[in-house]
Amino acid sequence: MSILVGLTGGMGSGKSLAASYFKELGAYIIHADLLSQQLAAPHQPAWEEIIAEFGSEYLNPDKTLNKSKLAVEVFQNNKKRNALEGILHPRVIAEEQKIYFDRQKIDPEAVVVIESALLIESQNYKNVDKVIVVQSTQELQIQRVVNRDGNSSISVKNRLKSQMPLEEKLNYADYVLYNISGRDQLKSQAHRLYSELKDLA
């Protein structure tokens, strides 16, 4: 039988890199961020609810959401963040479940991995068979996000403060991948863990 796995961690922890290794090994990856973007595309129901909640000043000229402006608002305002998550999370989770069930029909022994920064916060960990948390140090997380996105270290620190602490996420983990001493370390752990997940599928 197939297995549904949740892969999470803080920003800059190495979730996407771990997901890419699982994909190389044969896992089917569902990217929660990508689904969220698709569901919030212009004139989709989620887009309409977001505009009703936040206002048209959060739109770009092409009617797409101004994600940078929206991010500043929700990271400063818990009520607004809860409103945005209340619009997006149920839709993303429902779509993930649909994709998983469709994948099961194609491959009854599939290892399906949901890569999601907010797997725990959205309560979606309750819908998966196993939870993997990618662990790193905060210093490395900040350095990676600064290098990747060009943000200041202060803005990255503030965003990290708005997320559930990585130490708390570890309480939900069935497995932990350590991304501290380089890609080879993470890749070898992903290979070992994938073999274990295949045995469960």
Measured between alpha carbons, how far is residue 64 from residues 38, 58, 186 in Å?
11, 9, 36
Query: What is the structure's pLDDT at 182?
Result: 84
Using one digit for the tens of pLDDT, what is the confidence trace for 33-66?
999 999 999 999 999 999 999 999 999 999 999 9
Contacts of residue 126, Cβ cutoff 8 Å, sequence gap at least 6: none
Distance in angstroms (rounded) separating the CA atoms of residues 54 and 80: 8
The number of distinct structural domains making up the chain is 1
Which of 192, 195, 28 is closest to 111 using CA atoms? Answer: 28
What CATH code is carried by the domain that includes residue 109? 3.40.50.300
Query: What's the predicted TM-score (pTM) here?
Result: 0.90
Distance in angstroms (rounded) separating the CA atoms of residues 2 and 119: 20
Q: What is the DSSP letter of 10?
A: S
Which of 54, 3, 57, 51 is closest to 27 using CA atoms? Answer: 3
Does position 91 have pLDDT exceeding 90, yes or no? Answer: yes
Domain that holds residue 161: 3-200
Does position 70 have pLDDT exceeding 80, yes or no? Answer: yes
Average of pLDDT values for 127-151? 88
Q: Binning pLDDT at 50, 70 and 90, where does residue 68 land?
A: confident
Q: Binning pLDDT at 50, 70 and 90, where does residue 166 land?
A: confident
Q: Which residues pair with 111 in a beta bridge?
A: 3
Q: Could you tell me if 12 and 136 are in contact, meaning their C-beta atoms sit under 8 angstroms apart? A: yes
Q: Which residue has the higher pLDDT, 164 or 41?
A: 41
Distance in angstroms (rounded) separating the CA atoms of residues 199 and 63: 46
Residue 133: in which H helix or E strand, if any?
A: strand 130-135
**Average pLDDT value over all residues in the chain:** 92
Query: What is the structure's pLDDT at 76?
Result: 82
